[in-house]
Amino acid sequence: MSNKILGNYGESLAKQYLQNQGYRILEENFRNKLGEIDLIVQDGKMICFVEVKTRNSLDQGQPYEAINSWKIRKLSQMATFYLKHQYHTLEIPARFDVISIVQDKPNPPKIQHIKNAFDSVY
């Protein structure tokens, strides 16, 4: 399975998982010149910026371990942009979540939801 297909599959699983948990999907694959946020969801009054990482084995470690300081900085910048343009303020409760998925066939996927995975870095 190619990385793109695996990534799309993981994002689809993450979206379904979050909806089943009662989250409201606001945006999928939100893009601008800074990059992309996989999912933007609402959990009550909280806006959650969700990074989805999917792997088909643990040979290279847990999927969430692929999120480095550069990616955190980019996600923070994108979240700031989104809040300023959608809500015209940064005074909205927000957090960064990670959905880490391991799809080791023929086993069912293992989904780990890490809430408030990291703080914003501007």
Where do the structural domains in the chain lie, given as residue ranges? Answer: 3-118
- Assessment of whether the complete model's pTM goes beyond 0.75: yes
The values of phi and psi at residue 24, to 5°, are -105, 125
Tens of pLDDT along the chain (122 residues)? 678 888 899 999 999 999 999 999 999 999 998 899 999 999 999 999 999 999 988 888 899 999 999 999 999 999 999 999 999 998 999 999 999 999 988 889 999 999 999 887 65
What pLDDT is recorded for position 30? 96
Per-residue burial over 25-36, b = 16 or more CB atoms within 10 Å of its CB, e = otherwise: eeeeebeeebee
Architecture of domain 3-118: 3-Layer(aba) Sandwich (3.40)
What DSSP line would sit under the chain, residue for residue?
Answer: --HHHHHHHHHHHHHHHHHHTT-EEEEEEEEETTEEEEEEEEETTEEEEEEEEEES-STT--GGGG--HHHHHHHHHHHHHHHHHHHS-S-S-EEEEEEEEE--TTSPPEEEEEEEEE----
What pLDDT is recorded for position 1? 65
What pLDDT is recorded for position 58? 84
